[in-house]
A and B are shown apart, each in its own frame.
Chain A
């Protein structure tokens, strides 16, 4: 590493620019994404994956077990299939016969059964309605699935919502959070999804063999590598960064620090420049073949494609002058929209693993749970923190006909919250505390009625309803990227932007929002399938 990489101070992009929905909704995965962190660790530590159990009949009913040996610990995927229902669990350690019997009963239920502390996560799985039967039929006849169908579906299997971190009885996050391999967010969930993708391939081949006998073909490794696992994300993932401000701050901060380190490089090697050009060309190609049908996403993809073409043209000139990445980012800031800028920002990190990968250790945080309000802070200080972050919103009309148009609620029988017009939601008793900006503005006005030098604890005693806003304001004092600088109950809000931000940090690709409330994506697409040991 050259000296200038170490001593140049990093200048971070300001939160008021980054924490806007239109920019968060433009984020692309990067080498800091959690799926990438997992894959790097699997390779570096030479994890061994073995198929340790395969008790599936000719119709695919039964169970399969995949063991993972990290060298230090064991994990295992248990898949149970009964007719149309498939359930999966990632176990902490190798499952015994009792575990298998219990999971065989609970996993394939329509409403998946409760887990124990032995399971880190659970999900239901579904076969792709277009590609699955086609792939089985073709492989059974000794043929590969049709290339166009492979490209159109992109997955053999989809995962339902992943239940983890204590949900549905699974192990609490604290059980694994201190393990190096589980320290980064969502590592257990992503390991489960990675193994599900492996199972999808094995099951397709198993069913093809059952139907075609000796004539059956195995799935071409190139096709296998190209296929991902399908995921569908809803408003739960939109609410996630809002309800985890400290954690989300670490994600954004790590990425911004990485971007800052790269743009500070005085010199760029031609190989590094061309590597980024290659990655951008890859993104252009996948954008051109996107499955997205949502009119806004289609328009956005077209705009991104045009911007990537401009960027390719600019980069064809080669790295120029002092700090070429800084100059290119500056050019992008003045020429491209957020989609083009953030694509460059994410992919510019690719050649610099030595410079940025270590930041992956800084993307976990327990302060969302552990931070305690400082009641001795003065009313004036809390108001100043609120106005620094939400000053733009202090004078908005927050009536239902104005900025308070929508309300977040949740029905007991649904996994995801809803976002509906305030009147229709009958929000009063049911509203979830996700109207962050409105809550901050209300607190700011209320605190204005008290002496500026009074300790805020005295106000919170009379007005406990401003405690969350006070806490969040105090958090912004040390976590600059904690708050989203947009109104999440505005009539025009597109929560899919928040979903996009979250899934891009997961490492998902192929963003396909069927509406402004949902996002279909793929994970691990294009990733060589990990070798399965004997």
Chain B
């Protein structure tokens, strides 16, 4: 079994890895938080972030961002959406989410959207429902649930998603107090994070 990490360690490394991967600190903060929240729900957020950072366009500011938040279906110029950029935008406009929701085309490492969907549920005080490829998960206002469908989403490299307010809202997963990231993902994040450190003293 891999070594356990504190959630603070996970968030700190994920944040620095995202910055090292080319995201501004502003989005790196969001990435770190999202990874932490996934780990609390026993989803390996480190593996998801490592997959995102391995995407050839992950570091490019605009090419993975939704073009216009007023669209009913969000898409990017490159055809792939970054879950951090899309997720923060979703969280930002939680109060203005259309009743029939929004679609997102080609989300890379799509499980990283989940923490932002949970933010929306908390902000709206109303469950939100996420669907993809015939699977549906409804997230309650108290945090991310645990479901086999989510485990499958965590193994999905890229998919379209649809998010809309409402739904039954699954109860939250009992919170994990430690993270168990896959060693390869942890190593990948360490390598990316090392690019944020100035030359050492030793």
Contacts and interface: CB of A to CB of B under 8 A. Distances in A.
Interface string B106-139: 0000000000000100010000000000000000
Given A170-B6, A173-B8, A414-B201, A464 B27 contact: yes
B9 interface: yes
A410 B198 contact: yes
Nearest to A115: B6
A167 B66 contact: no
B164 interface: no
A167 B198 contact: no
Given A414-B200, A433-B25, 5 more contacts: A117-B6, A166-B7, A369-B33, A430-B197, A461-B85
B4 A117 contact: yes
B89 A117 contact: no
A169 interface: yes
Interface stretch (B49-57, B91-99, B181-189): B91-99
A105 B7 CA distance: 24
A111 to B, nearest CB: 11
B8 A166 contact: yes
A373 B200 contact: no
A375 B91 contact: yes
B96 A169 contact: no
Contacts of A41: none
Contacts of B92: 373-376, 456-457, 460
Interface in B173-201: 177-178, 194-201
B93 A466 contact: no
A409 B30 CA distance: 20
Given A411-B197, A426-B198, A165 B8 contact: yes
Contacts of A166: 6-9, 12
A172 interface: yes
Interface of B: 3-9, 12, 23-27, 29-30, 33, 61-62, 65-66, 69, 85, 88-89, 91-96, 119, 123, 177-178, 194-202
Contacts of B25: 432-433, 468
Give the interface size bracket for A toward B: 35 or more
B61 A464 contact: yes
13 contacts: A166-B8, A169-B9, A171-B6, A175-B177, A375-B91, A375-B93, A375-B94, A376-B93, A411-B198, A433-B25, A457-B92, A464-B88, A467-B26
Contacts of A98: none
B89 A411 contact: no
Given A433-B25, A468-B26, A461 B9 contact: no
Name the residue among A369, A375, A429 with the largest chain B CB count within 10 angstroms. Answer: A375
A35 B92 CA distance: 39
Given A169-B9, A172-B7, A461-B66, A412 B194 contact: yes
A430 B196 contact: yes
B201 A411 contact: yes
B95 A376 contact: yes
A174 B9 contact: no
A464 B61 CA distance: 8
A239 to B, nearest CB: 13
B93 A167 contact: no
B65 A413 contact: no
B83 to A, nearest CB: 14
Given A411-B198, A464-B61, A174 B177 contact: yes
Contacts of A425: 198
Contacts of B3: 114
A255 interface: no
What are the 5 A-B residue pairs with the smallest beta carbon separation, nearest first? A375-B92, A166-B8, A166-B6, A467-B26, A457-B92
A411 to B, nearest CB: 4
Contacts of B85: 461, 464
A374 B96 CA distance: 11
Contacts of B199: 411, 426
B119 to A, nearest CB: 6
Nearest to B65: A461
A117 B178 contact: yes
Contacts of B69: 457-458, 461
B71 to A, nearest CB: 11
Nearest to A429: B195
Contacts of B29: 467-468
Given A376-B95, A430-B196, A457-B69, A413 B201 contact: yes
A461 to B, nearest CB: 6
Nearest to B10: A166
A372 interface: yes
A116 interface: yes
Contact of B26 (A168, A430, A464): A464
Contacts of A493: none
Name the residue among B3, B92, B95 with the largest chain A CB count within 10 angstroms. Answer: B92
B198 A174 contact: no
A383 interface: no
A457 B3 CA distance: 39
A333 interface: no
Interface string A391-432: 000000000000000000111111000100000011001101
A432 B24 CA distance: 11
A226 interface: no
A455 interface: yes
A372 B27 contact: no
A375 to B, nearest CB: 2
Nearest to A426: B198
A413 B200 contact: yes
Interface string A440-484: 000000000000000111101110111110000000000000000
Contact of B198 (A172, A430, A433, A458): A430
Interface string A104-126: 00000000001011000000000
B177 A172 contact: yes
A374 B62 CA distance: 22
B66 A172 contact: no
Interface in A144-195: 165-175
A456 B9 CA distance: 31
Nearest to A373: B92
A35 B62 CA distance: 49
Contacts of B197: 410-412, 430
A271 to B, nearest CB: 47
